[in-house]
Structure 1
Amino acid sequence: MQGILREIGMIARCLDTISNAEFKEYNLSKGQYLYLARICENPGIIQEKLAEMIKVDRTTAARAIQKLEHQGIIYKSDHPENKKILNLYPTERGQNLYAFLKMEEQHSMNVALNGFSPAEIETALLLLRRMRENIEEDWKLIKRGEKRAYMDQARAEIARQKL
């Protein structure tokens, strides 16, 4: 059972390494392509919603957004009703890069799902979605500064073993 999360982690790291190498010539690195893709798919998205969608903290999102803006890949626009809120949009360059990102995503998807039947693909998607929904509860707990349930037991065990 513990192998499931390890496999998911290895898949994620492989894809991240591949993407970072392939997008390097476009100065997209460290997962910046994730931000660009979500902004292109959700034009006008606000930073907070984008951070939640990608599952990062606001500070991490702010740094990535700032870099993308500095590179002329995205731009910020004042929200029509609240000047404190900035909407994010891709520039023309960002849209062009997004087309390349979509090609890479499709290729990676084809490679990853090679030999899978349509039913297996649907089952995998449903199971992974359920896993994400389950783990999101702990993610939200941690974001609020709380501790997961096992922590008290883990601390007691560590104290008992005098680690």
Structure 2
Amino acid sequence: MLARCIQSISDITYREINLQRGQFIFLTRICESPGVNLIELSNILKVDKATTTKVVQKLMKEDYVLRERYESDKRGWHLYPSAKAQEIYPYIIQEENRNIETCFTGLSLEEQDTVYQLLKRMCKNIDQHWKAVKHHKDESL
């Protein structure tokens, strides 16, 4: 429910800067990891490469993402945030922080820390499961 609410709020908030459903997540990760490739970005976000490719193409069309070919392998691409992306990145982070603060409203610092620690553990658990499922899926192809 939290993820869906935040996603919905973000989709409405980012319409004014021409970011469509969920694109802000891809854009923030590219800003935080300049030079990342499609496979690395897919793994960071736990999505398939086809989804990443589609989103990145749309971000490139909106002039948010630039790509450069690998020197060693002409099939690969490095992804970089454009000047336009770097300009809106602080705004996106500010909005993300506002959503986090809203979620933590009324919780003590101790409760906030507990939530953080539990979520961190949950992320580690699901990441291991995701890797196992993905590995099994890749083997069956």
Q: Judge same fold: TM > 0.5, yes or no.
A: yes
Residues matched between the structures, number: 137
One-letter code of the match for 2:23? Q
* Equivalence for 1:126: 117
Aligned match for 1:31, one of 22, 26, 29: 22
| Structure 1 segments unaligned to the other structure (5+ residues) | 1-9, 147-163
State the distance in 2 between where 1:30 and 1:145 align: 29
3-state SS in 2 of match to 1:77: strand
Deviation at 1:85, TM superposition (A): 2.1
Q: Structure 1 segments of 4 or more deviating over 6 A?
A: none
Report the identity percentage.
Answer: 34
* Equivalence for 1:139: 130
* Equivalence for 1:89: 80
Distance 1:119 1:81, change over 3 A: farther
Larger Rg: 1
* Equivalence for 2:99: 108
One-letter code of the match for 2:50? T
State the distance in 2 between where 1:118 and 1:78 align: 46
* Equivalence for 1:43: 34
* Alignment of structure 1 residues 45-84 onto 2, 5 Å: 45-84=36-75
State the distance in 2 between where 1:119 and 1:41 align: 29
| Structure 2 segments unaligned to the other structure (5+ residues) | none
Higher relative contact order (CA 8 A, sep 6+): 2
State the distance in 2 between where 1:100 and 1:107 align: 10
1:19 and 2:10 aligned: yes
Deviation at 1:34, TM superposition (A): 0.2
3-state SS in 1 of match to 2:107: coil
